Structure 1
């Protein structure tokens, strides 16, 4: 098993892509903390497997992030892997019409969370001389669609942060990578599309050469590889899990 004896935190791990990552990590032998703003959903996920613990976490607030890290350290004594998966979007809207509150919320969850988790976990990983950090970004940060401007920009930020963190932390043995998935069968799909109809789904899928949305299992498979020792020479990579969408 590729993640045997590893410990991992997955934010937004109770559903969608995060749940797919959690499930794959467990299959590969890891112990996982499911961090989610929906505490009940996190607890339900934890009840499925003895190697899972849960933490209700708001990744946009420092105290909540620190409590998440402390919970993991209390349970395991060390943390090998952090997956920053929690994310949100605004509805498809002309860029000038997105409210300031929506803008702030998108950047707090998608970007500030990475800053906060880094401040909380990087000193620990530096002290151990190892660690893997994985950000779940989006094809929106590489090949943006109109009317999701500020969401696109937040994911562009994530991709740049991935590369700059990778360069800075490599000498301490910490690898930092990102996944860039295309729209997937998750609770966020309707938010990206505006409304979920067969016609809009067909329009989205027509832009994906492999002809389907991404699935949580796709993300789990990619994440397990990048966070495993098999990827020990890979850092700063923005892996497109997109069925060819960005070609």
Structure 2
């Protein structure tokens, strides 16, 4: 597994940062990006050996520069993880500020589509590579009020990945260049817990404590399986339906409080 060159978008916080750390721990060479130059520099200093690049993944030019920087530094890109994404305020679609909704759609779907287009073209020229697209709530068709914009983008990510896998197969590239689904499940980050009132959070916290996990629990497992690879169009999923069912079945006997430390602080 070691020795591979991995690019992680949105690698300065949350799951992305956890993946950067985990890939490094597993012996990979890691390039990551973020939109804030100061944050990118801070993470690169914190994790020696990584290359941080300031980039906005909604920009083709920035994506091309990110690829070029990685290749200039390390000769190739073996794995590209499209992790960058964001959510919006938990409101009905028509109440979400226009700029906020536009940014979610452009980043989660537009940015990911552009990244796939840019990176897969470069990997085809290179002769090998794997792209992993990050799924999220809504990817499996589940729905929740207040998450319409975000959920729709993640549902579209699943279609885009499946369809792109078929395109690679039809083009005769799928033996060397592949695209995959990466599904982290519920992970305790700002993306999961934001925009709840204290009363609302007390209610959803019960579900989170059953189904969610911390970044440091999930990302090493995800990174290991991404490095191991898989067939074109395959999925790596942390929270499967079977695992969720077992957790609900044993919830009364297995009390967890994922938020105890934050509450104490």
Give the TM bin, normalised by the shorter chain: 0.7 to 0.9
Match of 2:157 in 1: 158
CA distance, structure 2, for counterparts of residue 37 and residue 18 of structure 1: 13
Deviation at 1:196, TM superposition (A): 5.7
Match of 2:144 in 1: 145
Matches within 5 A, 1:56-205: 56-142=54-140, 143-170=142-169, 171-172=172-173, 173-191=176-194, 194-195=195-196, 197=198, 199-205=199-205
Deviation at 1:240, TM superposition (A): 4.9
CA distance, structure 2, for counterparts of residue 116 and residue 128 of structure 1: 18
CA distance, structure 1, for counterparts of residue 238 and residue 4 of structure 2: 25
Match of 2:19 in 1: 21
Change (3 A) 1:64 1:231: closer
Q: Give yes or no for the alignment of 1:227 onto 2:226.
A: yes
Gaps of 5+ in 1: none
Match of 2:7 in 1: 9
3-state SS of paired residue (1:82): strand
CA distance, structure 2, for counterparts of residue 234 and residue 221 of structure 1: 22
TM, length-normalised to structure 1: 0.86
TM, length-normalised to structure 2: 0.81
Change (3 A) 1:79 1:132: same
3-state SS of paired residue (1:35): strand
Deviation at 1:127, TM superposition (A): 2.5
Deviation at 1:234, TM superposition (A): 5.8
3-state SS of paired residue (1:9): strand
Number of residues of Structure 1 aligned to a counterpart in Structure 2:
240
Deviation at 1:48, TM superposition (A): 2.5
Structure 1 stretch displaced more, 152-161 or 46-55: 46-55
Match of 1:207 in 2: 207
CA distance, structure 1, for counterparts of residue 36 and residue 186 of structure 2: 22
Q: CA RMSD in A?
A: 2.4
Structure 1 stretch displaced more, 153-162 or 125-134: 125-134
Structure 1 stretch displaced more, 97-106 or 51-60: 97-106
